[in-house]
Amino acid sequence: MKQLLYIGLWIFFQFSVSSQAEDKITLSREFNLFTSKNLEGYLKPLFTSIGESINSNVFTTGNYKDDWSIGIDISVSGMFIPNGQTTYDAERPDAFGDTTIVKTAELRNGKIYRNVVGNNSQPTIFGGQSNGIYAAPQNHRYPDTSYKSVAYVEGNDISFMSGIPTIQFIFGFPTRTQIRFRIIAVPMGDNSVTYWGLTASQNVDRFFNLFKPEEKMGLSAHFAYSAINGGPSISLSTWNFGVHFSKSWNNSLSLYAGFQFEGLKGKFEAVRDTMNMDNYVDNPFKEIRDGAPLTVNLASFTAFRILGGVSYKIGPMEIHGDAAWASQPILTFGITFTFGHFGRSKDDEWDEQWEKDRLRLKEN
Amino acid sequence: MKKSIIYILLIATMLFVDGCYTSTVDSLSSFRFQLPLIFYSNYKNKSVPDTAIDFVNLSKYEEYNKNKDKIGKAEILSFNYWIDSLVIDNNKPFDPKVDDVEFEFVSFALHFAKLKANPPNPADINSVINWEDDPLTPDYILGQFSNVSVKEYYRNPDHILDVNDEIAQVLSSAVKYKPQFFIKSLYSKSKGQITPRRVFPLVNARFDMIIRFQVDL
């Protein structure tokens, strides 16, 4: 968990020159690997993975018992990265394309492209090699002379991304409501990153008597909200809501399916050290030249998911796994341990009665 | 029996998941970025044929300095070359619309630098005057531009050479440990040159080089 979060946020902290708990991260003036727009494009697929993994394992079966219960769930997830999320349209310096100021050339797959103004495909964190742009300023005056060659950060050639593992407490209520709660705090440099999440699921089919008890089917609605706070520079929240349905056999094997809308939003803000503006930075990107703050809107490509899964109960343990179609198709696996049920459940009463009736019929 | 199958599936799943996590962490255990190095190769009264020498010190780059202990690889990918300004024989500024000068070739080589036994400027160890050719390493030929018509190379960045893989691989491990090196640009005679030396009062040339760094996290 710590390792994955560290990797996800490493890039933010790696180039900081100072960072205190109460201040935003400060970048050196010479930090020029990213502009705000490029960092946003580079990391969006990673935050999609983070968002998807946080929005996973919020439910399994949709048939919640009407008693008190407490349990713990340990789950993992992994996302397949589609080709479309291995590149992004990177920002070029503003004067690139204006041949009166600067001429440019890019070598891509052995072919040279000159003075391109359109799409600038560069790899995201999951992509491959980047392509630098060679530039020749046409005049000998500032800021035209700043428009020099640029290069971009490369990706890590990742086609399958493991998500953030989840450990969550599960509480059941007699109202056929389930609450899942997760929290973890990770020290990160001078800051501490805190992650918490809450999911509420409510069985709804019983309100409308949609299914007979012996059919062992359940329909529920769910809503989840999670947040990551990493000091004044980074904040992130995710949400999802939807419905899920399940059908069980012998109170052990269940198949379940669900649909949910989901999203992630957040912001990363860092300031560039402008203590000594006399020491100007001769950079082709105006944002870096001006020492402007690095402001990144964190977002996800994923707006919804459709999933199907299977769960198997053995005593107090439930093993579950599902596959979901989302912008990054996702697999999840987990184990739930229910420590105890408290109170009398009508479902159990019905099961016992049904078993008695079945035995009586058999005897007759 | 049924329980055994469940437990076997469970263990298999855990092993699979553990493998996926290990693979992801391995994939994300390094960070690669490219960095353009910009060279201003400016000379007065430059005669051809001749070799121009420029000193490169990666320690001057923040991205290198900040990560130098973690740099796993440094690979020269490509470079380009162009003429920024030129004054020709009769002190006339070169005008690409009417003038032309053509070199048979301009070739580039890299030679690693070695700190002199008695550096003349020990206070600033990264100063060029403290460094000399490392006699234990050869000239690594990076590439050659042929038939260099100044008209075509005049403030024009589109003459780009990929550094061949073999050379790139040799350099990739060496550059990590020897971040100081010389770039030697060898100018041939100009076409039609009949004297042993032809002098240009001013040559401002540029070559940019793109290097890939791999940083181990």
Contacts of B83 in chain A (CB under 8 A): none
Domain final position from A124, A139, A157: A157
Tell whether B16 is covered by a domain. Answer: no
Same-domain pairing of A298 and A240 = yes
Instruction: Report the range of poorest mean pLDDT among A14-28, A30-44, A320-334, B188-202.
Output: A14-28
Domain final position from A157, A180, A208: A157
pLDDT at B191 over 70: yes
Residue from A62, A89, A342 nearest A215 by CA: A62
Query: Does the distance separating the beta carbons of A160 and B24 come in below 8 Å?
Result: yes
pLDDT at A21 over 50: no
| B111-148 b/e (C-beta count within 10 Å ≥ 16 → b) | bbbbeeeeeeeeeeeeebebbeebeebeebebbebeeb
Query: Does the distance separating the beta carbons of B38 and A149 come in below 8 Å?
Result: yes
Q: What is the pLDDT of residue A235?
A: 86
Tell whether B122 is covered by a domain. Answer: yes
Dihedral angle over CA of B125, B127, B133, B137, nearest 10 = 60
- Alpha helices of chain A — where are they, by DSSP H? 2-14, 36-54, 286-289, 346-363
Cβ proximity of B163 and B143 under 8 Å: yes
Query: Does the distance separating the beta carbons of A333 and B34 come in below 8 Å?
Result: no
Q: Which amino acid does the sequence have at B48?
A: V
CA B81 to chain centre: 11
Give the distance from residue A364's alpha carbon to the nearest chain B alpha carbon, in angstroms. 31
Interface test mutation site (partner B, options A42, A101, A162, max chain B beta carbons within 10 A): A162
* Average pLDDT, rounded, for chain B: 84
Give the distance from residue A210's alpha carbon to the nearest chain B alpha carbon, in angstroms. 32
Same-domain pairing of A107 and A222 = no
Chain pair A-B, CB pairs under 8 angstroms: 119
Same-domain pairing of A37 and A183 = yes
Cβ proximity of B208 and B56 under 8 Å: no
Tell whether A145 is covered by a domain. Answer: yes
Neighbours of B90 (CB within 10 A): 6
pLDDT at A349 over 90: no
Find the distance separating the first CA and the last CA of chain A, reported in whole Å.
58
* Average pLDDT, rounded, for chain A: 87
Tell whether A87 is covered by a domain. Answer: no
pLDDT-derived band at B40, boundaries 50, 70, 90? confident
pLDDT-derived band at A153, boundaries 50, 70, 90? very high
Same-domain pairing of A327 and A213 = yes
**Is B152 an 8 Å CB contact of chain A?**
no
State pLDDT tens for residues B3-32.
Answer: 666 566 556 655 555 555 566 556 667 788
Check residues B156 and B7 and name the one with the higher pLDDT.
B156
Widest CA span in chain B: 97
pLDDT at A19 over 50: no
**Can you tell me the ipTM of this complex?**
0.85
pLDDT-derived band at A12, boundaries 50, 70, 90? very low
Q: What is the pLDDT of residue B165?
A: 84
**Is B27 an 8 Å CB contact of chain A?**
yes
Same-domain pairing of A201 and A306 = yes
Contacts of A11 in chain B (CB under 8 A): 31
Tell whether A28 is covered by a domain. Answer: yes
State pLDDT tens for residues A154-201.
Answer: 999 999 998 888 899 999 999 999 999 998 877 766 667 788 999 999
Is the full-model pTM beyond 0.80?
Answer: yes
Contacts of A252 in chain B (CB under 8 A): none
Same-domain pairing of A151 and A22 = no
Q: What is the pLDDT of residue B69?
A: 75
Tell whether B115 is covered by a domain. Answer: yes
Contacts of A148 in chain B (CB under 8 A): 36, 38, 208
Q: What is the pLDDT of residue A140?
A: 86
Tell whether A88 is covered by a domain. Answer: no
- Non-local (6+) Cβ contacts of A139 within 8 A are A101, A145
Q: Which of A12-21, A318-327, B133-142 has the highest mean pLDDT?
A: A318-327
Find the distance separating the first CA and the last CA of chain B, reported in whole Å.
46
Query: Does the distance separating the beta carbons of A78 and B20 come in below 8 Å?
Result: yes
Same-domain pairing of A210 and A328 = yes
Same-domain pairing of A56 and A165 = yes
Cβ proximity of A138 and A93 under 8 Å: no
Q: What is the pLDDT of residue B76?
A: 87
pLDDT at A206 over 50: yes
Instruction: Report the range of poorest mean pLDDT among A31-35, A58-62, A292-296, B7-11.
Output: B7-11
Q: Is the peptide bond before B49 cis (omega within 30 degrees of 0)?
A: yes
Six-digit token pair at A196?
Answer: 């918490």
B20: enclosing H helix or E strand: helix B2-27
Among A105, A321, A333, select the one facing B157 at the smallest CB separation.
Answer: A105
Query: Does the distance separating the beta carbons of B158 and A149 come in below 8 Å?
Result: no
**Is B63 an 8 Å CB contact of chain A?**
yes
Domain final position from A157, A180, A196: A157
Q: Give the pLDDT mean for A3-12.
A: 47
Considering chain A, what percentage of its residues have pLDDT values greater than 70?
90
pLDDT at A5 over 80: no
Query: Does the distance separating the beta carbons of A150 and B36 come in below 8 Å?
Result: yes
Among A3, A134, A162, select the one facing B160 at the smallest CB separation.
Answer: A134
Tell whether B22 is covered by a domain. Answer: no
Same-domain pairing of A252 and A320 = yes
Residue from A285, A322, A287 nearest A306 by CA: A322
Domain total in chain B: 1
Considering chain B, what percentage of its residues have pLDDT values greater than 90?
32
pLDDT at A131 over 90: yes
Residue from B42, B80, B79 nearest B157 by CA: B80
Query: Does the distance separating the beta carbons of A103 and B158 come in below 8 Å?
Result: yes
Tell whether A313 is covered by a domain. Answer: yes
DSSP state of B65: H
Q: Which domain holds residue A114?
A: 93-157
The dihedral of CA A244, A249, A252, A253: what is its sign? negative
Whole-angstrom Cα distance, residue A130 to residue A155? 8
Q: What is the pLDDT of residue B20?
A: 57
Check residues A203 and B165 and name the one with the higher pLDDT.
A203
Check residues B62 and A20 and name the one with the higher pLDDT.
B62
Domain total in chain A: 2
Query: Does the distance separating the beta carbons of B20 and A162 come in below 8 Å?
Result: yes
Neighbours of A280 (CB within 10 A): 14
Tell whether A86 is covered by a domain. Answer: no
State pLDDT tens for residues A112-129.
Answer: 999 999 899 999 999 999
Count H helices, E strands: chain B?
A: 4, 10
Same-domain pairing of A67 and A142 = no
Contacts of A149 in chain B (CB under 8 A): 36, 38, 80, 157, 208, 210
Whole-angstrom Cα distance, residue B35 to residue A148? 12
Q: Which domain holds residue B201?
A: 32-216
pLDDT-derived band at A16, boundaries 50, 70, 90? very low
**Is B77 an 8 Å CB contact of chain A?**
yes
Q: What is the pLDDT of residue A17?
A: 41
pLDDT at A8 over 80: no
Six-digit token pair at B132?
Answer: 């000399």
Six-digit token pair at B149?
Answer: 């018509």
Check residues A278 and A332 and name the one with the higher pLDDT.
A332
Q: Which of A30-34, A327-331, B64-68 has the highest mean pLDDT?
A: A327-331
Same-domain pairing of A172 and A153 = no
Same-domain pairing of A9 and A119 = no
Whole-angstrom Cα distance, residue A31 to residue A25? 12
